A and B are shown apart, each in its own frame.
With several copies, the nearest count.
Chain A
């Protein structure tokens, strides 16, 4: 199927923006600019953009420790994301969160998370809230392959099924949890089959094909809005860098990485498709790359120049104080 030209360009640009963000932030992390480090999602752009492009901006997501790509795809300006990585006052969490705790609850981003699997439950809960209020929205929970072995994930999945919640679970399955290959720790080695066992439509899809991701998400969203309950999508993808910035493990071969990069890169694949379909010219593509680079440069500049949070605020916002006397 040919891709809509305008849509395709937007999708491609989003993926490029994420890729540039990640590669830039990685270097900045190595230079000590990102307190606590970060988890680079390069290679996984199609999952984030494919999902988010099928959602309404008001839909809710909750995600993981590796969430820059989801956050940017969800629409958070890259300068705000970068500022948060720098733990600056202008970051989305005022510098309290850094890389793992990006959020914008008001706009449906219910947060990255330091705890594997926790975002699944939060998104399921948001879906319960959506249903309680009778709204026409969905909530999407992202989780890694590693999070498939965490009990809380399956409790949340089950609850979504029995209450028919407008919930979509996306496994951003990059095949490794830190240095642990998914097949070594995943009984049965068929993640979608686990989902099926809990009674929801479950698919394993090509997470490097942004249109496939988009399509499955869109269908899941339609089922959810029609009151048919949750869906489970296991998107196969790959991360090009180490688990965290600076990690150089021996747990996978350089050939494996090179193979994914050169044959299945989601940006290369999609740009090639757009170009071959005449939806994009080489010149336009180069312009796009340049414009993305400029946007990221500006973001870095913004982050650099932003003020640090005021340390006198460390007790602010722990609670509302409305419950009673606070001393």
Chain B
């Protein structure tokens, strides 16, 4: 757990924070390169690598054909060879075309062949516009896969600090950036600010109950906290920042301290990572629980392109407020 307040440096967007971290690490390590579609001119769909090709050249930022399997394979083989590639899959939905390369190959090679596979698979994730093929929440699948780590930053500071860590570590990382956060500005750390994976961030301290969450739901939870505050309930919010490794120390400590815990995310709830968190935390801290850990998550349904339907399928401020009230009722 960390409660570091970001040190002021500038006020870039969430996407620019990614650029900043990647730039610094590319200067440090000449073997980092980026491969993905439409990166050179466009700078990626979310401007996440804008200007980097111009600065580092097209040997280090490569425009790819639409070949997700080959992109990951290229990353994998070159990582085994000694490079540290960032494979930019644009939307995580497209990783479904590269699952063998990710799950069977990249994740397993260190274990099988004792060879590091330093590869970052970056993509936007989360529910936004775009409908069923652009809003999959696949994070629980990656977190379930031995050999992969999963970052799910919710603010500029964490994006930069986590990508820097990922780029200094010889392991495969799935780096998921939430679409709805791309333009959100925030402070970022300096060249030496690395955030270790498995360290949650206390977004807001509280004294009555806790919400454990990540990604965009951190924002929804903060809004819910305001509503709750007006009703006299002071809720703590934990942003996990990475789903594997999980910061189980902070989770356990939080469950023990409050005994009233909500776990929230926007992935379809059946089988989501919130189940892992709730099940493991309940098992480890049963006697501290004042009542069951309550989960809130996405509907078991594909996402619709219609914004109202899509909104209705994920946790709302009111939904989180209700969940917290439920744990407060114990």
Assess A/B contact in the complex (Cβ within 8 A): yes
Interface positions of A (Cβ within 8 A of B): 35-37, 60, 62, 87, 93-101, 103, 105-106, 110-111, 113-118, 120-130, 132-133, 139, 146-147, 149-152, 155-156, 158-159, 162-163, 177-180, 184-186, 249-251, 308-309, 311-315, 317-320, 322-327
> Of B19-27, B163-171, B180-188, B253-261, which binds chain A?
B163-171
Asked whether any CB of chain A lies closer than 8 Å to the CB of B37, the reply is yes
A and B contact pairs by CB, cutoff 8 A, 17 listed? A96-B112, A96-B132, A96-B306, A100-B133, A101-B112, A101-B133, A114-B93, A115-B93, A122-B80, A125-B77, A125-B80, A132-B33, A152-B101, A159-B64, A159-B70, A163-B62, A319-B110
B74 partner residues in chain A, CB cutoff 8 A: 121, 124-125, 128, 156, 159
With A110-B77, A159-B74 as known contacts, state yes or no: A147 contacts B66, CB within 8 Å. yes
Contact flags B177-195 to A (C-beta < 8 A → 1, else 0): 0000000000000000000
B78 near A103: Cβ-Cβ < 8 Å: no
With both beta carbons as reference points, the residue of chain B lying nearest to A106 in the complex is identified as B115
A159 near B165: Cβ-Cβ < 8 Å: no
A87 partner residues in chain B, CB cutoff 8 A: 304-307, 309
A325 near B133: Cβ-Cβ < 8 Å: no
B305 partner residues in chain A, CB cutoff 8 A: 35-36, 87, 93, 95-101
For the complex, give the distance between the alpha carbons of A97 and B309 in Å.
Answer: 11
A324 partner residues in chain B, CB cutoff 8 A: 165, 196-199, 242, 245
B302 partner residues in chain A, CB cutoff 8 A: 96, 318
With A96-B304, A105-B113, A314-B299 as known contacts, state yes or no: A62 contacts B77, CB within 8 Å. yes
For the complex, give the distance between the alpha carbons of A120 and B306 in Å.
Answer: 26
B77 near A317: Cβ-Cβ < 8 Å: no
For the complex, give the distance between the alpha carbons of A124 and B146 in Å.
Answer: 25
For the complex, give the distance between the alpha carbons of A159 and B304 in Å.
Answer: 32
> Would you give the shortest CB distance from A130 to chain B, in whole angstroms?
7
With A132-B83, A311-B308 as known contacts, state yes or no: A327 contacts B248, CB within 8 Å. yes
A185 near B65: Cβ-Cβ < 8 Å: yes
For the complex, give the distance between the alpha carbons of A271 and B124 in Å.
Answer: 45
A320 near B67: Cβ-Cβ < 8 Å: no
A116 partner residues in chain B, CB cutoff 8 A: 66
B196 near A323: Cβ-Cβ < 8 Å: yes
Which of B63, B74, B109 counts the most A-chain CB atoms under 10 A from its CB? B74
Interface positions of B (Cβ within 8 A of A): 31, 33, 37-38, 41-42, 59, 62-83, 93-94, 96-97, 100-101, 104-105, 109-116, 129-134, 146-147, 149, 165-166, 168-171, 173, 196-199, 242, 245-249, 299-302, 304-309, 311-313
Supplied contacts A96-B309, A101-B131, 14 more A-B pairs, CB within 8 Å? A36-B131, A96-B306, A100-B133, A101-B305, A121-B69, A124-B73, A132-B78, A146-B65, A152-B100, A159-B74, A309-B308, A320-B170, A322-B168, A326-B198
For the complex, give the distance between the alpha carbons of A117 and B70 in Å.
Answer: 11
With A36-B130, A105-B80, A324-B198 as known contacts, state yes or no: A177 contacts B66, CB within 8 Å. yes
A111 near B70: Cβ-Cβ < 8 Å: no
> Would you give the shortest CB distance from B161 to chain A, in whole angstroms?
11
A319 near B63: Cβ-Cβ < 8 Å: no
With both beta carbons as reference points, the residue of chain B lying nearest to A105 in the complex is identified as B115
> Would you give the shortest CB distance from A314 to chain B, in whole angstroms?
5
B77 near A127: Cβ-Cβ < 8 Å: yes
> Would you give the shortest CB distance from B194 to chain A, in whole angstroms?
9
With both beta carbons as reference points, the residue of chain A lying nearest to B69 in the complex is identified as A152
B41 near A149: Cβ-Cβ < 8 Å: no
B306 near A309: Cβ-Cβ < 8 Å: yes
B245 near A326: Cβ-Cβ < 8 Å: yes
B197 near A323: Cβ-Cβ < 8 Å: yes
B80 near A308: Cβ-Cβ < 8 Å: no
A315 near B300: Cβ-Cβ < 8 Å: yes
The listed residue (B165, B173, B309) touching A95 by CB distance below 8 A is: B309
A156 near B65: Cβ-Cβ < 8 Å: no
With both beta carbons as reference points, the residue of chain B lying nearest to A162 in the complex is identified as B65
B66 partner residues in chain A, CB cutoff 8 A: 116-117, 146-147, 149-150, 177, 185
B149 partner residues in chain A, CB cutoff 8 A: 319, 323
The listed residue (B64, B81, B82, B309) touching A309 by CB distance below 8 A is: B309
